[in-house]
Amino acid sequence: MEFSATQIAQLLEGIVEGDASASVSGLSKIEEGKAGSLSFLSNPKYESYIYTTGSSICIVNDSFHPTKPLPSTLTLIKVKDAYACFAKLLSVYQASMRKAPGIEQPCFIDPTATVGKDVYIGAFVYIGANAQIGDGCAIYPNTHIGQGTKIGSNTTLFSGVQVYDNMHIGSHCIIHAGVVIGSDGFGFAPNEQGVFDKVPQIGNVIIEDFVEIGANSTIDRATMGSTRIKTGVKIDNLCQIAHNVEVGEHTALAAQVGIAGSAKLGKHIMVGGQTGISGHLHIADGTKIVAQSGIPSTVKEADTLMGTPAIPINDFKRSFIGFRKLPEMMRELSQLRKEINELKANKS
């Protein structure tokens, strides 16, 4: 599919500088641009590439002014925010690559299940009794959707997603390959013999609208009630969210974050990769947590935290400076002890 500079500019409300009839059929990074591809420049760090790129069209900020001659084959489209506009184009491109509606065979759809209009269902999909699949959904091959599960409209489940019984997934969600939704929470109680007895997990998971969950992440069902992922939450690959956790609106979790049971995260929180969050605590709206931090207790006010246990980032930086100086300080202390012992020996 080809698009002209004029068509792209109209979509992005931009201004064309160069050949308005120039066309592109693919996307590329500016440093790897080639004829017929579209690139973008938003970070000044990469400006040097625009003077050598082979791309046919490049989206730039309207504040960009070349300091060298541009390639004669390059057409610019100037917009207010080049990065945001390129992201918009990526969404349009992705939508054009969407699977056509239809049901591949073999697959199993229980007669009591409800499947909406314009739905794609791949081969070897299982949809259980009384499940509900909304309009415009895409269910890729080898996905399991348990009985009683409800999925809203225009949600995509990629290959190998496993959704247990009675889960709720909202509209416009993206669930990547290998995600498990509704596995049992890690609930065990030691008996008198010190043997762990399993605590039945009878709750579910509720995922609201516009949530994206990265590959191979797991979200456990609640012991009772619901584990809840609220609107607009973004979860990276390989994250673990335990039973009865609540993640507030538009919070983002990077890869390998682990959240223990019954923790409550507020809105607009950002959590760096490999962070561990203890159970039964609350984290204030707007908190930012640096990668590889540990959160052992409630965070009452928004701050940027770092370390294990996590402390305000400026305190951590000052502490780390002291930590780096420890070898030098230990040598000085050893020297002082030696001098003190010599003074004591001379005095006696």
Active site residues: 243
DSSP secondary structure letters along 42-87: --GGGHHHHTT---SEEEEETT---SSPPPTT-EEEEES-HHHHHH
Q: Tell me, what DSSP letter sits at residue 134?
A: -
Compute CA 123 distance to the chain's CA centroid, rounded to the nearest angstrom. 27
d(CA 149, CA 204): 10
Token pair 């010190």 in the structure block, residue: 194
Cα separation, 226 vs 203, whole angstroms:
5
* CB proximity list for 227: less than 8 A, separation 6 or greater: 185, 203, 204, 205, 206, 219, 220, 221, 241, 242, 243, 244, 245, 246
Q: Which two tokens stand for residue 82?
A: 């080049």
Dihedral sign from CA coordinates of 77, 82, 88, 94: positive
- 39: Cα within 13 Å, side-chain hemisphere: 24
Neighbours of 105 (CB within 10 A): 7
Length of the chain: 348
The residue type found at 153 is S
